[in-house]
């Protein structure tokens, strides 16, 4: 937002940033190289996996090694702390709201009756409260502040003419805690994401807590450039949280006012 001194002088902060980026690149490329080596060794040994069991990396390698490597590194850089922070936020919300945790456990017990019950595709379609808990924790502890896009055509936004090529930042962060969009915004209420059951007259009563404008809540962005990892994240969070809640009672007995903060 300010004139960028770092373009002309290598400031200590720039050096620190570059060092961190180099570190992230080294770690991710080491993992990707290791996976490529393993796949190449398996190919030499004649191991053939059906398409459905091949990894994204394995499929991309057949098209272009460089693209495959960069994609796999991107996925590690974009996918590790994002998922773990979101996972932690969901657990924190459940720990702080034991009555909601109990409702969730009741739902999970139905799909995982035994301690070691297997997840099935069908069972995971039947967990609306789990999905609602995850969404509600993403509202309370949002990972991203919003999205950005370069306009590809001249547009009118809120009455302003904005020319093509302009970078537009959409930052709905404060709306996520506004009463206007989320009644009882300070409370962890997964119920706001649940469609009300149909009553005996076949009517579905309105859920007063429900969000009216879906674009206010886009934790994974929207459109062709939305998060490519969303489905992986959904699966990781749903399976991980269901398993934990099934087998453990989650508590967190420490202060949580600044549970997440951006380091200075
Ligand atoms: C809870 C976890 C995550 C959240 C909340 C999240 C959120 C986001 C958001 C908001 C965007 C920008 C979307 C837009 O501008 O419309 C994005 C992009 C992206 N995400 Fe994620 N992400 C998560 C996990 C992951 C994972 C696990 C992966 C990889 C396996 C991943 C890979 C990517 C990539 C590659 C992009 C760039 C897509 C593009 O520009 O076309 N993310 N993510």
Q: Give the CA count within 13 Å in the CB-facing half-sphere of 100.
A: 23
The whole-number pLDDT of residue 206 equals 73
What pLDDT, on the 0 to 100 scale, is given for residue 5?
A: 86
Could you report the per-residue pLDDT of 22-44, keeping only the tens digit for each? 998 899 889 889 999 998 899 89
The minimum-distance atom of ligand 1 relative to the CA of 221 is 16
pLDDT of residue 123: 84
What average pLDDT does this structure show over 186-200?
A: 84
229 lines ligand 1 (CB under 6 A): yes
DSSP the chain: ----GGGTS--HHHHHHHHHHHHHHHHHHHHHHHHHHHHHHHHHTT----GGG--HHHHHHTT-HHHHHHHHHHHHHHHHHHHHHHHHHHHHHHHH-HHHHHHHHHHHHHH--STTPPP-TTGGGS-HHHHHHHHHHHHHS-S-S-EEEE-SS-EEETTEEE-TT-EEEE--GGGGG-TTTSTTTTS--GGGGSPPPP-TTS-----TTS-S-GGG--TT--GGGS-TTHHHHHHHHHHHHHHHHHH------S--TTSS----
**How far, in Å, is the centroid of ligand 1 from the Cα of 86?**
12
171's tokens: 């930052």
Q: pTM for this one?
A: 0.88
Task: Give the per-residue pLDDT at 197.
Answer: 62
The answer to whether residues 209 and 192 touch, using CB atoms and an 8 Å cutoff, is: yes
What per-residue confidence (pLDDT) applies to 263? 67
Q: Using CA of residue 25, residue 234, residue 56, residue 54, what is the dihedral sign?
A: positive
Atom of ligand 1 nearest to the CA of 74: 35
How far does residue 23's CA lie from ligand 1's centre (Å)? 21
Q: pLDDT tens, 203-247?
A: 666 788 888 899 999 999 999 999 999 999 999 999 999 999 999
Q: What pLDDT, on the 0 to 100 scale, is given for residue 256? A: 85
For ligand 1, atom 37, name the residue with the nearest CA. Answer: 227
d(CA 127, CA 108): 7
235 C-alpha to ligand 1 centroid (Å): 14
Query: Residue 231's pLDDT is what?
Result: 93
Q: How far apart are CA 37 and CA 188, in angstroms?
A: 46
Any atom of ligand 1 within 6 Å of the Cβ of 219: yes
Distance 144 CA to ligand 1 centre (A): 10
Per-residue pLDDT band at 199 (split at 50, 70, 90): low
Has residue 89 got a pLDDT over 70? yes
Confidence grade of residue 177 (pLDDT, cut at 50, 70, 90)? very high
Q: What is the mean pLDDT of residues 161-180?
A: 94
CA of 221 to the centre of ligand 1 (A): 8
Between residues 105 and 63, which one has the greater pLDDT? Answer: 105
Instruction: Output the CATH code of domain 84-247.
Output: 1.10.630.10
Residue among 88, 122, 121, 128 at smallest CA distance from 104: 128
pLDDT of res. 221:
94
Tokens representing 216 are 């206010």
Residue nearest to atom 1 of ligand 1 (CA): 83
Q: What is the pLDDT of residues 106-164, one digit of tens each?
A: 999 999 999 888 888 888 888 999 999 999 999 999 999 889 999 999 999 999 999 99
- Residue 149's beta-bridge partner residues? 168
């Amino acid at each position: 937002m300010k004139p960028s001194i770092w373009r002309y002088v290598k400031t200590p902060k720039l050096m620190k940033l570059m060092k961190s980026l180099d570190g992230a690149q080294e770690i991710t490329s080491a993992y990707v190289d290791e996976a490529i080596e393993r796949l190449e060794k398996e190919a030499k040994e004649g191991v053939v996996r059906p398409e459905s069991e091949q990894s994204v990396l394995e499929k991309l390698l057949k098209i272009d090694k460089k693209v495959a490597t960069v994609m796999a590194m991107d996925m590690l850089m974009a996918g590790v702390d994002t998922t773990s922070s979101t996972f932690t936020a969901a657990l924190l919300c459940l720990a702080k709201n034991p009555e909601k945790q109990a409702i969730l456990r009741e739902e999970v017990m139905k799909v995982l009756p035994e301690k070691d019950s297997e997840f099935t595709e069908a069972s995971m379609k039947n967990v609306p409260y789990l999905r609602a808990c995850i969404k509600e924790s993403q509202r309370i502890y949002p990972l991203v502040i919003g999205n950005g896009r370069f306009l590809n055509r001249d547009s009118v936004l809120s009455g302003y003419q904005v020319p093509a090529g302009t970078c537009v930042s959409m930052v709905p962060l404060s709306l996520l805690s506004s009463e206007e969009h989320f009644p009882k915004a300070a409370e962890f209420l997964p119920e706001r994401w649940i469609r009300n059951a149909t009553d005996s007259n076949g009517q579905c009563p309105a859920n007063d807590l429900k969000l009216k404008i879906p674009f206010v809540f886009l934790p994974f962005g929207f459109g062709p450039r939305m998060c490519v990892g969303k489905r992986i994240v959904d699966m990781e969070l749903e399976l991980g949280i269901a398993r934990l809640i099934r087998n453990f009672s989650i508590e967190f007995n420490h202060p949580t006012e600044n549970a997440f903060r951006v380091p200075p």
